[in-house]
Amino acid sequence: MKSTFSGWRYLWTSIDIRRKLLYTLGFLALYRVAANVPVPGVDAVALATFRANLGANGTFFNFLDLLSGGTVSQFSLLSMGVYPYITAQIILQLLTPIIPALQKRMEDDPREGQKWMEKWTYILAVPMAALSAIGQVNIFNSYATQLGLSQIIPFGFSGVLLLPSITVLLVMTGGTMFAIWLG
């Protein structure tokens, strides 16, 4: 028991460790606060009805919600998490052996190649996040329509839906980039 207390005491007496621990706790708190910010335009009543009507058919959505820390069911700012970044990273890693110029860049100077790969992963994460946002909104809306419910977010790229749809895309893409920055 004494060793546990001495370990905790060491954490708080070491200024460097205490600072890093407080930064980590601060970032976790910031993430949890941002995870509760809803995407603008979400019909809260339609979302609550959607969640209530999922029942046994909601296995897919429950799984997504589990992976996202509860942000998918709330349709929050961080509902996509860092998935688009991971997808962009996988795409670039799969393209490296296929494209000779990429493979040569990685072999010539591995450190510079890694920096280049990281930069382009961030750049590719932005369109991946936008595409993922379109997909997520369409999946939710189509599933709600199949259940006979109203759409959770009115979404489309024509007429009066254009500006709200662009807003939803920008907010969800920004939420993903914020989550990547926090990570």
- pLDDT higher than threshold 80 for residue 131: yes
Q: What is the pLDDT of residues 92-115, one digit of tens each?
A: 999 999 999 888 888 888 899 899
- pLDDT higher than threshold 80 for residue 9: no
Confidence of residue 120 (pLDDT cuts 50, 70, 90): very high
Contact 108, 100 (CB under 8 A): no
Instruction: Give the contacts of 182 (CB within 8 A, at least 6 positions apart).
Output: 27, 30, 31
Confidence of residue 55 (pLDDT cuts 50, 70, 90): low
Alpha helices in 35-161 (DSSP H): 44-54, 59-68, 71-74, 83-95, 100-108, 110-146
Question: Looking at residue 73, what is its pLDDT?
Answer: 79
Confidence of residue 58 (pLDDT cuts 50, 70, 90): low
Contact 154, 41 (CB under 8 A): yes
Query: Pseudo-torsion of CA 159, 160, 166, 171, nearest 10°?
Result: -160
pTM of model > 0.85: no
- pLDDT higher than threshold 80 for residue 46: yes
Domains of the chain by residue range: 35-182
